[in-house]
Amino acid sequence: LGYDLTTLGLSLNTQDRKLHRSFGGPWADSPIRAHELDVKVPDEYLTH
């Protein structure tokens, strides 16, 4: 039942308490990257 918890794709050494903001979910092997993370942007930025 032992896992090396440092190999689960979470950067556990970051100081800020924001790991959950880029957490890809229980099955993700790496955090969500900035270009995948939907955030609220000004309407004018929705150029498409």
Partner 1 sequence: PLGRTSMTKEFDLQLAALELACDKATFPLDSEKPRNYLTKMSFPVPSWYGQTAPSTADSLEYYLRLAPDTLFFIFYYMEGTRAQLLAAKALKKLSWRFHTKYLTWFQRHEEPKQITDDYEQGTYVYFDFEKWSQRKKESFTFEYKFLE
Partner 2 sequence: YDDQEMTAKVEVIMREWISLCYSPTGQRSPQESLAQMIQLMHEHGVLATDDKITQFFRLCVENCVDISVRVMKSEQIANGLPTNLIRHRCYYTLDAFVKLMALMIRHSDNGQSQNKINLLKKLLNIIVGVLHMDHEVRKTDFNAMPYHRILISLFNEITGPDPLKLLEPIAWSILEAFGQTFFALQPRRMPGFAFAWLDIVGHRNVIGRLLANTGIAETVDSVKTAATYTQLIISHLKFLAPFLRNIQLPKSIAILYKGTLRVLLVILHDFPELLCEFHYVICDTIPPNCVQLRNLILSAFPHEMRLPDPFALNFKQVDTIPEMAVEPKSNLNMATIIPDNIRVPLDEYLANRTPVDFLPRLPTLLQTPNQSGTKYNTTVMNALVLYVGIRAIENLHLRRQRISTLSIAHTSFMDIFQNLAIQLDTEGRYLLFNGIANQLRYPNAHTHYFSCVFLYLFKNSTNDTIQEQITRILFERLVALRPHPWGLLITFIELIKNPTYNFWRYEFTSCAPEIQRLFQNVANTCV
**Options 5, 33, 42, 45; binder of partner 2; rule CB under 8 A:** 5
Contacts of 33 (CB under 8 A, 6+ apart): 22
- Euclidean distance between CA atoms 46 and 42, whole angstroms: 7
Decide if residue 40 touches partner 2 (CB under 8 A).
Answer: yes
For the record, the structure tokens of 3 come out as 């896992």
Decide if residue 36 touches partner 2 (CB under 8 A).
Answer: no
Window 13-42: residues binding partner 1 (CB under 8 A): 22, 24-25, 27-28, 30, 33-39, 41-42
Q: Would you say 19 and 10 are in contact if contact means Cβ atoms under 8 Å apart?
A: yes
Give me the residues that bind partner 1 (CB under 8 A), please: 11, 22, 24-25, 27-28, 30, 33-39, 41-42, 44-48
